[in-house]
Amino acid sequence: MKARGSIIRRLLGASILALPLFLGITGYAIDQAHTRSLIAAQESQLQLQFYGILGVMEWSNTQPISVDRLREPRFWQFRSGLYAFIHTRNGTLQWQSSSANSLEVLQEAFSPTAAGEEVFDEITLKDTAYFRYRYHVIWEDETGVEYPLIFTLLEHQDAFRQELLSFRKNIALWLGLAAVVLLVMQVLVLRWGLRPLRDMSRELRALEAGERESLGGTYPLELTGVTHNLNRLLEKEQQQRERYRNTLGNLAHSLKTPLSVMRSATNSETDPQITEQLDKMNNIIDYQLQRAVSAGPRRLGTKTPLKPMLERLCQTLTKVYRDSNLDFAIDCADTQALAMDEQDLMELLGNLIDNACKAAESRVAINVSPLNGSKLEVSVEDDGPGFPEDKIDALMERGNRGDQYGSGQGLGLAVAVDILNAYEAGMDIERSVLGGAKVRLALPA
């Protein structure tokens, strides 16, 4: 099964995509709120300046407007950025602050307003941005005559924009630091949260290596069902193997008695063919009984050393085929092992090496080498006549024989194929450099 990447990487990738959007929206909302707050503060400041002018202003129909006691020093500083003007309704200038001397202000800055109306807005004059505050006042002199006056205050936006820019730089810096901190915290939280999965992975590897029989760690509630079901599956797999072996042993044992009766009733001199077949049946039954008895409990993931088994098989087959004077060559490292049941592996290799012995003229070669991934290649080849290429597919089927070296049950390589299928392993048959057949197995290591 092809891996689809790390869970942590996927979650972090999603966070890296989502965080800029979230922090961007957050930063925009904070910036807008702060901007509105600064503008409201500007409006309040200009409003206070207006009331300050109104409080100290002196004027009558016989004297010009006098505003001499202003406390705001910027009104007296040349081009300080804060300017005040007083106009009549028809636009005639009655007074301006000293800061506005020699300042060219367009007439549009003094647009009239309704009596009692207070207006705060922004205006751009000659590419310069200002905050503007206007108030239409009805001034009444001591004789009761009313005079409409329009107060206009302008304040340069340079200080406002500098403060806003400084705030934006700070908020960008802090949001960037927050993003880094959040990502680091998320990595730590994910590693802590996914630790039970790593623990389970380690236990599964130990289980595969035969170092333990079940999952026994303490897991959170979400994984308890998984571990419980896995342990039940392992237990049922072991029970199924035991039942299979017990059934096989019982079947073989139950056949011993009628087979013995048949052998007793058969005359070996008058019926040699029947006697020969009965002997073969007896050997098969003995083999299955021995296999069932010798097969003890097997833990999942137990690895079987290869070299000792190959040496035992070759020693046994040397005695069986002592008349053929065969030479066995084994090329296998002492540390090489397969993740297979010992009895399954013995039956698989025994079947293949036995077939090679039947076909060989004088030599059988067994080679073990690593493959890509967690597999080993085991090859068995001989110097016999080999298999015809048009019969290779038929050799995999039960009841077909590819040799004429002696009698047999006609199972051919189908027994090996069954075992290989159980372990999701593969097998190929080709011509050997020795002249005979070469069977290559790809087995789990």
Integer angstrom CA distances of residue 126 from 71, 103, 131, 153, 378: 29, 12, 14, 17, 90
The counts of H helices and E strands in the chain are 9, 14
Segments of the chain with pLDDT less than 50: 1, 294, 296-297, 398-412
Query: CB neighbours of 52 closer than 8 A, spacing ≥ 6?
Result: 70, 71, 72
- The predicted-structure confidence for 161-200, as pLDDT tens digits, reads as follows 999 999 999 999 999 999 999 989 988 988 888 888 888 8
Integer angstrom CA distances of residue 317 from 85, 321, 349, 353: 119, 6, 12, 8
Residue 84's nearest CA partner among 109, 61, 62, 59 is 109
CA distance 411 to 406: 13
Confidence at residue 402, expressed as pLDDT on a 0 to 100 scale? 47
Which residues, in sequence order, are bridge partners of residue 56?
Answer: none
Count CA atoms closer than 13 A to 132's CA, side-chain side.
Answer: 21
Confidence at residue 407, expressed as pLDDT on a 0 to 100 scale? 42
Confidence at residue 410, expressed as pLDDT on a 0 to 100 scale? 39
Contact 391, 442 (CB under 8 A): no
363-370 and 128-140 strand pairing: unpaired
Q: Which two tokens stand for residue 188?
A: 């730590």
Angle between helices 7-56 and 158-193 (to 10 degrees): 150
Confidence at residue 91, expressed as pLDDT on a 0 to 100 scale? 81
Contact 359, 405 (CB under 8 A): yes
Q: In 295-388, where does DSSP find H-type helix?
A: 306-320, 342-359
For residue 323, give the amino acid letter: D
CA distance 125 to 403: 107
CA distance 21 to 324: 80
Confidence at residue 240, expressed as pLDDT on a 0 to 100 scale? 80
pTM over 0.75: no
